Chain A
Amino acid sequence: MTIADDLARLEEIVRKLEAGDVELDTALALFEEGVTRLRAAKERLGTAELKVQEVIEEAGGDFRLADLDG
């Protein structure tokens, strides 16, 4: 799950809510999911740190990832 997924789903939820043709219990469930996702997305944004890895090719065509200090 990425922020992009969260934002896409949030947009979908808001559209559904705004359309107004869902039942109240569905609307409540959508709202609840929206709030949860919002909170998660904000938290992800607040605590994130850029992850930098170098892709190193190895003999035989394989590769591995090694953390890189930027």
Chain B
Amino acid sequence: MALSFQFGSLSPTDEVWSVSQLTASAKRLVEGEFVPVWIRGEVVQCKAWPSGHWYFSLRDRTSQVRCCMWKRDAERAGVPPRDGTEVFVLGKPAIYEAKGEFQLNVSRVIPTAAVGAAQRELERVKAALHGDGLFDPARKRRIPELACTIAVVTSTAGAALRDILTVARKRWPCCRVLVIDARVQGGGAVDGLVSALWLVNRLAGVELCILGRGGGDREDLAAFNNEAVCRALAQVRVPTISAVGHETDISLTDLVADVRAATPSAAAELAVADRREVLRQLDEVAARLAAGLTGHTRLAAERLARTADRLHGGVTSALRRDRHHVVRLAAQLDALSPLRILDRGYAVPVGPDGRVLKRRAEFVAGEPFRLRLADGEVPARVEDR
């Protein structure tokens, strides 16, 4: 009796994968699914290899996962965690195809105890500053549009200052930058930042203050979450920009400052005007200035024309008035004319020389003279005296 096997769809001839295909497929699935996540667990079997990479496992009560930290991240982290330490790791799940292993590629390791203490302090400071109204939007001052003197509190050795100066030089070369050197991390950073911020208040002419540093690990930014630093920043007399170059974390100085900039370069862009923009503004002003004056001269010309009209009218009416006057005067003159008197029957004696004879002595016996009448002359002679 022949054996009857029921292979069905389980027949190995239907579709067979290679191991590589399987791991590649799993890799695609796993690595496509996850973004980096924070995972909490206990470190076990940690080993720092001469290559610089660290390998350890992370476990909780029921599970564990292999972790790998590449050299670059390991160097940044400094010291490998001791076995038994409870930590937060930032990692991306991955498949190590060569061994078909599921593992976590870790970029950050932070002991939970450190985070706990730092977090508690951060919360305390945040609450205290909030309680005193230091985050109040109402106390935010406006950044001046054309600041000419800017104070920058940062490390003179840091990239932040270089970035700020590069941007400022490009955009707005007619300003003065006063740099106050301060340690931005490690021991002495808090005291240095506080005294630097106080110094800003003693500088004459400063219109704006940038507090900045380049990016760094969360621990490196501790000074920018410090209460004394935050309070000193709040006391700065001029508007402030906090530029702690860390894209994901917001520091408390970011909340206290009048404006937060994501990076020192962004702070410089906020702080200084763009020369091209100001030139454009100047051109606009020039055009308005010209138009304003043209408007005025047109107005003046119109006014002048109106005045001329009135003047002309005035002269004309004066002339008209004068003409009447002249007619009246002429009439008066006419009335006074001697010819008019002659009309009334008077006669005027005129001597041979044409002079009017007015006195008796002017008449000589036997001499001829003429009598001028209204309508002509009559010859006459003096008969006897």
Contacts and interface: CB of A to CB of B under 8 A. Distances in A.
Contacts of A24: 296-297, 299-300
A4 B292 contact: no
A42 B279 contact: yes
Interface centre among A22, A35, A45, A49 (most CB of B within 10 A): A45
B113 interface: no
Interface in B170-227: 172-181, 195, 199, 202-203
B169 A70 contact: yes
Contact of A17 (B278, B286, B292): B292
Contacts of B138: none
Interface centre among A41, A44, A70 (most CB of B within 10 A): A70
Contact of B288 (A18, A22, A27, A63): A18
Contacts of B296: 17, 20, 22, 24, 27-28
Given A17-B292, A27-B292, A3 B146 contact: yes
Contacts of A30: 292
Contact of B278 (A3, A11, A50, A52): A3
Contact of B174 (A11, A18, A34, A45): A45
B282 A63 contact: no
B198 to A, nearest CB: 10
Interface in A15-70: 16-18, 20, 22, 24, 27-28, 30-31, 34-35, 38, 41-42, 44-45, 48-57, 63, 65, 68, 70
Given A4-B145, A38-B286, A42-B279, A70 B293 contact: no
Interface in B71-108: none
Contacts of A27: 292-293, 296
Dominant SS at the A interface? Answer: helix
B332 to A, nearest CB: 48
Nearest to A63: B199
Interface string B140-184: 000011111001000010000110011011001111111111000
A59 to B, nearest CB: 14
B178 A50 contact: no
Nearest to B303: A24
A34 B292 CA distance: 11
A1 to B, nearest CB: 10
Interface string A5-16: 001001101101
Interface in B244-275: 275
B281 interface: yes
A49 to B, nearest CB: 6
Interface of B: 144-148, 151, 156, 161-162, 165-166, 168-169, 172-181, 195, 199, 202-203, 275, 278-279, 281-282, 285-286, 288-289, 291-293, 295-297, 299-300
Given A28-B296, A42-B279, 8 more contacts: A4-B145, A10-B289, A17-B292, A45-B275, A52-B177, A55-B199, A63-B199, A70-B177
